[in-house]
């Protein structure tokens, strides 16, 4: 085979490779987000995701205000079991003297794990206006287990603890709206898929550097391109 034939063959192979890559990188629209067919991860496109129903994550806030002009809120959360040992501290913290600027009592979010939890105390916290969310059943070690856990593991731990909160503390299922992973260990797409299958509306906060904070996003929307 001569040089020209080899050149033509090489050109044809290159063209086929380019076409194949373009097919593999096609992005299709699903639920106001873009979807990659191989990774199955969504990429949020701002023009397809508008407030008040959708907002793409990024380093700029959802308004034209400068950062120092945006109203600030302090969110107080606690992890792990709720029992008599820690409940006394919560009672000292949640005094009637501590109020929001509008005069309403302050409220906390409790990310609850199952082991050593007294669900009667959880019931009291919910009735007092606090939010209860899932923090897994076992809170198991080692920390790296959560990175490599399977989708079924995530469903068992996060969804299972939500069921515990509903059945043992009698918190309405519709009111258990969030989760926090033990040790804040990210589990990649499996964690996001579990949020969907366990039907937990979840927002994700990711910090890449202390001075480059990102606004939170809804996990069903995906990351901005």
| Alpha-carbon span 100 to 93, nearest angstrom | 14
In this structure, the answer to whether residues 90 and 175 fall within a common structural domain is yes
Q: What mean pLDDT comes out for the span 63-81? A: 83
Closest C-alpha to 154, from 106, 191, 110: 191
- Whole domain around residue 38: which residue ranges? 23-57+206-225
In this structure, the answer to whether residues 108 and 159 fall within a common structural domain is yes
Q: Express as a percent the part of the chain with pLDDT over 70.
A: 63
Band of residue 27 on the pLDDT scale cut at 50, 70, 90 = very low
Q: What mean pLDDT comes out for the span 15-43? A: 42
Burial class of residue 107 (count of CB atoms within 10 Å of its CB; 0-12, 13-18, 19+): middle
Q: 146: which residues sit within 8 A by CB, 6+ positions away?
A: 181, 182, 183, 185, 187
> Residue 172 falls within a domain, yes or no?
yes
In this structure, the answer to whether residues 113 and 28 fall within a common structural domain is no
How many separate domains does the chain show?
A: 2
Indicate the range of 60-64, 133-137, 141-145, 213-217 predicted with least confidence.
213-217
> Residue 65 falls within a domain, yes or no?
no
Band of residue 186 on the pLDDT scale cut at 50, 70, 90 = confident
Indicate the range of 38-42, 67-71, 112-116 predicted with least confidence.
38-42
**Chain segment 126-184, per-residue pLDDT in tens:** 999 999 999 999 999 999 999 999 989 998 999 999 999 999 999 999 999 888 989 98
Band of residue 198 on the pLDDT scale cut at 50, 70, 90 = low
Given a cut of 80, whether residue 40 has pLDDT beyond it is no
């Amino acid at each position: 085979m001569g040089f020209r034939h080899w050149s033509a063959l090489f050109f044809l192979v290159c063209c086929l490779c380019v076409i194949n890559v373009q097919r593999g990188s096609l992005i299709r629209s699903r639920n106001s987000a873009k979807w990659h067919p191989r990774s199955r991860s969504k990429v949020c496109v701002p023009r397809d995701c508008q407030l008040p129903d959708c907002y793409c994550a990024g380093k700029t806030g959802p308004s034209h205000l400068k950062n120092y002009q945006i109203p600030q809120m302090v969110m107080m959360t606690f992890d792990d079991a709720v029992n008599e040992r820690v409940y006394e501290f919560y009672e000292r913290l949640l005094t009637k003297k501590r109020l929001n600027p509008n005069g309403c009592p302050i409220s906390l979010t409790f990310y609850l794990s199952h082991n050593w939890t007294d669900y009667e105390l959880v019931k009291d916290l919910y009735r007092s206006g606090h939010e209860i969310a899932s923090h897994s059943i076992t809170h198991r070690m080692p920390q790296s287990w959560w990175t490599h856990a399977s989708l079924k593991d995530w469903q068992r731990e996060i969804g299972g603890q939500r069921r515990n909160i509903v059945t043992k503390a009698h918190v309405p299922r519709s009111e258990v709206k969030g989760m926090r992973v033990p040790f804040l260990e990210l589990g990649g797409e499996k964690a996001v898929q579990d949020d969907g299958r366990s039907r937990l509306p979840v927002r994700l906060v990711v910090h890449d550097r202390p001075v480059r904070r990102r606004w939170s996003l809804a996990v069903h929307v995906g990351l901005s391109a």
